A and B are shown apart, each in its own frame.
Chain A
Amino acid sequence: MTTDLLILQTLLVGLVSVLMAVMISIIDGIVNNYGDVVVDVNGKKQMTVKGGTKLLGTLADQGIFLPSACGGRGSCGACKCQVESDVGPHLPTETPYLTDKEIKDNVRLACQVKVKADIKVHIPEELFNIRKMECVVEKIVELTYDIKEVLVRMPAGTELNYVSGQYGQFEVPKYGDIKEPTARAYSFSSNPQMKEHVEFLIRLVPGGAVTTYVHKFLKEGQKINVIAPVGDFNVKDTDASMICVAGGSGMAPMKSIFNDRIARGVINDRPIWYFFGARTTKDMFYLDWLWELDAKYSNFHFVPALSEPGPDEDWKGPVGLITTVLDEYLQTKIPLTEVKEGYLCGSPGMLDACMVVMKKNKMPEERIFFDKFA
């Protein structure tokens, strides 16, 4: 008897829920049906698409990939795009990432703007090179306890043209609590001359959706999507000394830059100082290779420093925060008169601290370039 009652109750509440769900889906079908809309890109290309989705996804479906480090959550502010038609006022989720001038020019975050009517957007030409490719994971090397080197192979017949310092978005499939394929941006550590492969250095971030997958589940031979090439961090073509500072997986663009210069035979053309900061020897990697470069090329100087070496560690190099070591070298070892360019890669905190030291040592801000981890 009680079971009957329970079933009846459940049925009843279920019936009401179903009725309401039907009502919502009918209204959704009417209200969110924007029909076919025309997306006009730069006034050159017109695409007819189904309205109602976000601009970022709409463009991606059409093969135009705006940079996006966070994967459309509105937390990186990379997918900026100028919209020339009226799409309503800026949303509170957009304004924190935009300057006053960008707001005036109606620059929007593509991941927040819904395509509801015909829309005109302006996208810089170089972004049209960005493609999504189904790659194969060829090799995974454990560099330290929390950094992995991941080499992926482009699909057959595809060559990726990029410059050292650019990055790609690494997309992992859904797993566990992560309900949809998720992409995050990582700098290429590979030599851009090697066009059929790209390599990433991926450090495990506790709780990170993609890094956790890479460290726990990613297998050699697995297929993975890469959206590339993105980013405007690159080496300027000057004779200035390069002062490179990077720690941890910030090594990636540096490795790419050095290997590219070696391959092009210009490694010794200008002085290169590479400051590599880590906490303990356990966080250090590629040391043999870097010391070899230091010995082989007279203009290449490698300066590794440990901030917290353990008492039993055999460490003869400088000790201290990388900024302290950088400051000391800029004051004593590298001539003040030498024209310098700063190349930084790492966490926002480290970058800001390096900026302060570099500016203090008379390096102009406009000659300091960086790749900030968002």
Chain B
Amino acid sequence: MSYVDPITLLFASIFTSNILLSNFLGTCSFIAISKDIGSSNGLGIAVIVVLVLSSAISWPILHYVLIPFNMIYLDLFVYIIIVAAVVQALEMIIERVSPALYMSLGIYLPLIVANCAILGVVLFMEIRNYDFGQSIIFGAGSGIGWWIAIVAAAAMRKRIDKNPVPAGLQGPGITLITMGFMSMAFVGFSGILRVQ
């Protein structure tokens, strides 16, 4: 891939190609957790950490193990193992450092393993041929983008909850609609620059 300066890449991954709002990855935990702003914040930060660590571990394994042995087709297996291990490690650390956050995240913390945003970012890193520094920046940027999106959505849902929502649209229904509007708003950023 052609050279992109780190700041542009960071900006692009946060805003113009937001992992959640333009690629629609990681929506399940987004819908479930965005009802509470505190948990959203915690999960957002956890996702940033997992993304940075998974990118940092996956890149050397891709370039020093998978490519030399000509086994790029095993990437999905390997990445899933890495993501699962990182999440497991993070779970142990959060339990030690912040039992309150550990409890409020509950089942969603181990479910980061199944958060497709993580696997998506690692696979993007591979197909876009990022170097090590770019991978980490892209991972961090995507994580920050996901975090901004979920916290913003939680803030909106807090206001939505005070208003009458038609019965059939309560909960996930109105969240998906909100997400659609947010996504449209983020399309506005894509005119600024484009990094693929």
> Footprint of B on A, CB under 8 Å?
8-9, 12-13, 15-17, 19-21, 23-24, 27-28, 31-32, 88-89, 91-92, 116
Chain A residue contacts of B167, Cβ below 8 A: none
Give the contacts of B63-112 with A (CB-CB under 8 A): 65-66, 69, 71, 74, 77-78, 81-82, 84-85, 88-89, 92-93, 95-96, 99-100, 103, 106
Is there an interface contact between B100 and A32, defined as CB atoms closer than 8 Å?
no
Q: A20-B85, A24-B88, A32-B92 are in contact. Are A12 and B69 (CB under 8 A)?
A: yes
Is there an interface contact between A23 and B89, defined as CB atoms closer than 8 Å?
yes
Q: Can you spell out 28 A-B residue pairs with CB atoms less than 8 angstroms apart?
A: A8-B69, A8-B71, A9-B74, A12-B69, A12-B74, A12-B78, A13-B74, A13-B77, A15-B65, A16-B61, A16-B65, A16-B78, A16-B82, A19-B61, A20-B84, A20-B85, A21-B85, A27-B89, A27-B92, A27-B93, A31-B93, A31-B95, A88-B99, A89-B99, A89-B100, A91-B103, A92-B106, A116-B96
Is there an interface contact between A20 and B81, defined as CB atoms closer than 8 Å?
yes
Chain A residue contacts of B82, Cβ below 8 A: 16, 20
Contacts across chains A and B counted by CB atoms under 8 Å: 52
Known: A9-B71, A24-B85. 14 other contacts (CB 8 A): A12-B66, A12-B69, A13-B81, A15-B65, A16-B61, A16-B81, A19-B61, A20-B82, A24-B88, A27-B92, A27-B93, A32-B92, A32-B96, A91-B103
Bound CA span A8–B71, Å: 9
Is there an interface contact between A92 and B96, defined as CB atoms closer than 8 Å?
no
Number of interface residues of B (CB under 8 A): 22
Bound CA span A24–B65, Å: 20
Bound CA span A263–B170, Å: 69
Chain A residue contacts of B89, Cβ below 8 A: 23-24, 27
10 nearest CB pairs, A to B: A20-B85, A88-B99, A27-B89, A31-B96, A31-B92, A16-B78, A16-B81, A31-B93, A13-B77, A24-B89
Chain B residue contacts of A21, Cβ below 8 A: 85
Cβ distance B118 to chain A, nearest Cβ, rounded Å: 15
- Would you call the interface of chain B mostly helix, strand, loop, or mixed? helix
Chain B residue contacts of A32, Cβ below 8 A: 92, 96
Bound CA span A5–B177, Å: 49
Of A20, A88, A91, chain B has the most CB atoms within 10 Å of the CB of A20
Chain A residue contacts of B93, Cβ below 8 A: 27, 31
Chain B residue contacts of A89, Cβ below 8 A: 99-100, 103
Bound CA span A177–B84, Å: 26
Bound CA span A31–B100, Å: 17
Residue of A nearest to B79 (CB): A16
Is there an interface contact between A17 and B92, defined as CB atoms closer than 8 Å?
no
Bound CA span A89–B104, Å: 11
Residue of A nearest to B73 (CB): A9
Residue of B nearest to A91 (CB): B103
Chain B residue contacts of A12, Cβ below 8 A: 65-66, 69, 71, 74, 78
Give the contacts of B30-82 with A (CB-CB under 8 A): 61, 65-66, 69, 71, 74, 77-78, 81-82
Bound CA span A27–B89, Å: 7
Cβ distance B90 to chain A, nearest Cβ, rounded Å: 9
Q: A13-B78, A92-B103 are in contact. Are A23 and B92 (CB under 8 A)?
A: no
Q: A12-B69, A13-B77 are in contact. Are A88 and B85 (CB under 8 A)?
A: no
Bound CA span A197–B166, Å: 68
Bound CA span A21–B88, Å: 10
Chain A residue contacts of B81, Cβ below 8 A: 13, 16-17, 20
Chain B residue contacts of A20, Cβ below 8 A: 81-82, 84-85
Chain B residue contacts of A13, Cβ below 8 A: 74, 77-78, 81
